[in-house]
Amino acid sequence: MSTWFECKVRYDKMQENGSAKKVNEPYMVDALSFTEAEARITEEVAPMISGEFSVSAVKRTNITEIFWDDSADKWYHVKVNFITLDEKTAVEKKTTSHILVAANDFRGALDHFMECMKGTMADFEVNSIAETQIMDVYKAKLESRNAE
């Protein structure tokens, strides 16, 4: 299971009019620890940012799954309730999950979410969908290590 960290990167971004503006942009990184998350985001954004930058914050998120779409340019946070029935008491129980969905617009986020959930046997209901400010998401790098 992945542990997703939100990392905020602070740097001077060039505006269209040529002026520099300080920005603090959030990114998502799959990492095992806060230290690894900071190192990974530094490695990922260094080639894209000219000049100095700093990692201003690293926090663990409650994202349980990510639905990717390489053609999408936005990230949406989908809060979904999975509904189960307690066999002994016959009481309905809702378990909340947070899923990040790549899409170009709100409708696309809902459609992509529903498409990815097609094979799910569990009953669920979408509680909310909200556009995030996340700039990009970086999966874990699985490196093969050879014994020397």
What is the residue-level pLDDT of the chain in tens, covering all 148 positions?
Answer: 789 999 999 999 988 998 999 999 999 999 999 999 999 999 999 999 988 999 999 999 999 999 999 999 999 999 999 999 888 888 999 999 999 999 999 999 999 999 999 989 989 999 999 999 999 999 987 764 343 4
pTM score, whole prediction: 0.89
Residues 18 and 67 in one domain: no
Q: Say if 28 falls within a structural domain.
A: yes
One domain, residues 80 and 124: yes
Task: State how many domains the chain has.
Answer: 2
Q: Which of 46, 61, 76 is the last residue of a domain?
A: 61
What integer pLDDT is reported at residue 86 of this predicted model? 83
Domain of 40?
Answer: 1-61
**Four-CA torsion 55, 102, 98, 106, nearest 10 degrees:** 120
Q: For residue 148, what pLDDT is reported?
A: 40
Q: Are residues 17 and 79 in the same domain?
A: no
Q: What residues form DSSP beta bridges with 147?
A: none
Asked if 99 and 66 touch (Cβ cutoff 8 Å), the reply is yes
Are the beta carbons of 126 and 113 closer than 8 angstroms? yes
- What are the tokens at 126? 């979408």
pLDDT recorded at residue 143: 62
38/55 Cα distance (integer angstroms): 7
In a domain, 31, yes or no: yes
